[in-house]
Structure 1
Amino acid sequence: MLTGLNIAVIGGDARQLEVIRKLTELDAKLSLVGFDQLDHGFTGATKVNIDEVQFEEVDSIILPIPGTDQEGTVDTVFSNIEVKLTEDLLMRTPDHCVIFSGITNDYLNNLVQNTNRKLIQLFNRDDVAIYNSIPTVEGTIMMVIQHTDITIHGSNVAVLGLGRVGMSVARTFASLGAKVKVGARDSAHLARITEMGLTPFHLSELEQESKDVDVCINTIPHLIVTSKVISNMPAHTLIVDLASKPGGTDFRYAEKRGIKALLAPGLPGIVAPKTAGQIVANVLTQLLEEVKNEGKGLSS
């Protein structure tokens, strides 16, 4: 139980509703910022403006999966009121206050460093990323079906990167009958691709390897699908970029060339927000128990 824990949930999309539901069930006291247009309420949770939050009593702040932008603005799907997380607000929190976010950026990193607060990136955790790869893969399949005129079965698919998402994507498309090749740099990853029964190639060979692809799925958050790579692709190729914004594709050149390129970060929140929210909520519950026990020394 999270009885006695004061938590500020600031912004977010439908995934946050599952987080709120779980935390209220565990008896946490919640202040909801950026939810003023949400129709239903939650017992134990109060909708407030950010200037109404008693930050002096807040044990934890839960941000949306994207965290903040580079100016500190938090995305609020259920409100039209701009919400910003600032250094002044964080300085009002107790020293043990922990901030949770899916990912981070320079603004958020500097914010917690300047205020000496702890930031936990949920998507840095293997458990969250692996569970989250399931709705990501399903969303990717949906996009490929919607935006191509061929079956996945028998198509030539290139997956770039063999991280936690890349591995799930490659395995699933292969199980659907696609001819999958996977690009990586790490020799251990290249060996794993071979062990999986897929075709490996080094990313330095991407220009050559792109000549016959029907679908290119990128998971690498750096510019990897360059104009040179795109210029070698067949005109019908579909690029699905799953990397966090701004992705790893030269979208301007793809458009100029007439190749459809889709930036699709946050797919779990689009195709399966309930499941994606439950994944985050379950992990958050464990971490908040630690905040409660270690930070305040409250009885569990």
Structure 2
Amino acid sequence: MLTGLNVAVIGGDARQLEVIRKLTELDAKLFLIGFDQLDHGFTGANKVKIDEIQFEELDAIILPIPGTNQEGLVDTVFSNEKIKLTEQQLKKTPSHCVVYSGISNSYLNTIIESSNRKLVQLFERDDVAIYNSIPTVEGTIMMVIQHTDITIHGSKVAVLGLGRVGMSVARAFSALGADVKVGARDSAHLARVTEMGLHPFPLEQLKDEVMDIDVCINTIPHQIITASVLSRMPAHTLIVDLASKPGGTDFRYAEKRGIKALLAPGLPGIVAPKSAGQIIANVLSQLLNELLIDGKGLSS
């Protein structure tokens, strides 16, 4: 149980509703900022504006998966209010207060460091990333089916990167009968691709490896699909870029060449928000219980 824990949930999408539901069931006291257009309420949760929050009383702050933008604004689908998290607000919180976010950026890192608070990036955790790869894979399959006129079975697919998402994507498309090749830099990753029964290639050879593909799925969060790579791709190739914004594709040149390139970060929240929210909620409840015992010094 999370009795005695004061938590601010700031912004977010349908995934946050599962977080709110789980934490209220565990008896945490929640303050919901950016949920004024939400029709139903939750017992033990209060809808408030950010300037009404007593930050001095907060044990934890939960941000949406993207955290904030570079100006500190927090996205929410349940409000038209502009919500900003500032350094001054964080400095008012107790020293044990922890901020939870899916990912971070330079703005969020700066205010966390200057206020001497702790930031937990949920998507840096293996458990969250691996669980999240399941709806990501399903969403990727959906997008490929929607945006191509061929079957996945028998198609030529290149997956770039063999991280937690890349591995799941490569395995799933292979299971559906695609001819899958995987590009990676790490020699251990290339060995793993071979062990999986797929075709490995070093990313240095990307220009040559894209000449005959139908689908390219990128998971690498820096520009890897450059103009010179795109110039070697067949015009019918579909690119699904799963990397966080701005992705790893030169979208301007892809459009110029007539190659369909889709930036698709946050697929779990689009295709399966309930399941994606439950993944986050379960991990957060464990982390908050640890905070309750270790950080705040209360009993569970």
TM-score, normalised to structure 2's length?
1.00
Instruction: Provide the C-alpha distance between the structure 2 equivalents of 1:162 and 1:232, rounded to a whole number of angstroms.
Output: 22
Aligned to 1:214: 214
Residue 206 of structure 1 aligns to which amino acid in structure 2? L
Instruction: Provide the C-alpha distance between the structure 1 equivalents of 2:237 and 2:296, rounded to a whole number of angstroms.
Output: 55
Aligned to 1:67: 67
Aligned to 2:82: 82
Instruction: Provide the C-alpha distance between the structure 2 equivalents of 1:174 and 1:27, rounded to a whole number of angstroms.
Output: 44
Instruction: Provide the C-alpha distance between the structure 1 equivalents of 2:220 and 2:63, rounded to a whole number of angstroms.
Output: 24
Instruction: Provide the C-alpha distance between the structure 1 equivalents of 2:16 and 2:160, rounded to a whole number of angstroms.
Output: 30
Instruction: Provide the C-alpha distance between the structure 1 equivalents of 2:290 and 2:70, rounded to a whole number of angstroms.
Output: 29
Instruction: Provide the C-alpha distance between the structure 1 equivalents of 2:67 and 2:213, rounded to a whole number of angstroms.
Output: 35
Instruction: Provide the C-alpha distance between the structure 2 equivalents of 1:191 and 1:88, rounded to a whole number of angstroms.
Output: 49
| Partner deviation per Cα, 1:254-279 (whole Å, 9 max, x = no partner) | 00000000000000000000000000
Aligned to 2:116: 116
Matched, 1:293 2:293: yes
| Partner deviation per Cα, 1:140-193 (whole Å, 9 max, x = no partner) | 000000000000000000000000000000000000000000000000000000
Instruction: Provide the C-alpha distance between the structure 1 equivalents of 2:194 and 2:87, rounded to a whole number of angstroms.
Output: 49
Aligned to 2:230: 230
Instruction: Provide the C-alpha distance between the structure 2 equivalents of 1:57 and 1:294, rounded to a whole number of angstroms.
Output: 17
Matches within 5 A, 1:149-188: 149-188=149-188
Displacement of 1:122 in angstroms is: 0.3
Instruction: Provide the C-alpha distance between the structure 2 equivalents of 1:265 and 1:99, rounded to a whole number of angstroms.
Output: 22
Displacement of 1:297 in angstroms is: 0.6
CA RMSD of aligned residues (A): 0.4
Instruction: Provide the C-alpha distance between the structure 2 equivalents of 1:111 and 1:179, rounded to a whole number of angstroms.
Output: 46
Instruction: Provide the C-alpha distance between the structure 1 equivalents of 2:114 and 2:297, rounded to a whole number of angstroms.
Output: 25
Residue 297 of structure 1 aligns to which amino acid in structure 2? G
Indicate the SS of the match to 1:51.
helix
Aligned to 1:256: 256
| Partner deviation per Cα, 1:196-241 (whole Å, 9 max, x = no partner) | 0000000000000000010000000010000011110111000000
Matched, 1:55 2:55: yes
Displacement of 1:296 in angstroms is: 1.3
Aligned to 2:98: 98
Instruction: Provide the C-alpha distance between the structure 1 equivalents of 2:178 and 2:48, rounded to a whole number of angstroms.
Output: 50
Aligned to 1:2: 2
Residue 280 of structure 1 aligns to which amino acid in structure 2? I
Instruction: Provide the C-alpha distance between the structure 2 equivalents of 1:229 and 1:251, rounded to a whole number of angstroms.
Output: 12
Question: Identity, % of aligned pairs?
Answer: 80
Instruction: Provide the C-alpha distance between the structure 1 equivalents of 2:295 and 2:136, rounded to a whole number of angstroms.
Output: 34
Residue 188 of structure 1 aligns to which amino acid in structure 2? A
Instruction: Provide the C-alpha distance between the structure 1 equivalents of 2:39 and 2:89, rounded to a whole number of angstroms.
Output: 27
Aligned to 1:278: 278
Displacement of 1:299 in angstroms is: 1.4
Instruction: Provide the C-alpha distance between the structure 1 equivalents of 2:260 and 2:182, rounded to a whole number of angstroms.
Output: 20
Aligned to 1:25: 25
Indicate the SS of the match to 2:96.
coil
Displacement of 1:76 in angstroms is: 1.0
Residue 146 of structure 1 aligns to which amino acid in structure 2? Q
TM-score, normalised to structure 1's length?
1.00
Instruction: Provide the C-alpha distance between the structure 2 equivalents of 1:164 and 1:266, rounded to a whole number of angstroms.
Output: 15
Indicate the SS of the match to 1:211.
coil
* Structure 1 ranges of 4+ moved more than 3 A: none
Displacement of 1:294 in angstroms is: 1.2
| Partner deviation per Cα, 1:18-50 (whole Å, 9 max, x = no partner) | 000000000000000000000000000000000
Instruction: Provide the C-alpha distance between the structure 2 equivalents of 1:2 and 1:184, rounded to a whole number of angstroms.
Output: 43
Displacement of 1:295 in angstroms is: 1.4
Instruction: Provide the C-alpha distance between the structure 2 equivalents of 1:213 and 1:232, rounded to a whole number of angstroms.
Output: 10
Displacement of 1:67 in angstroms is: 0.3
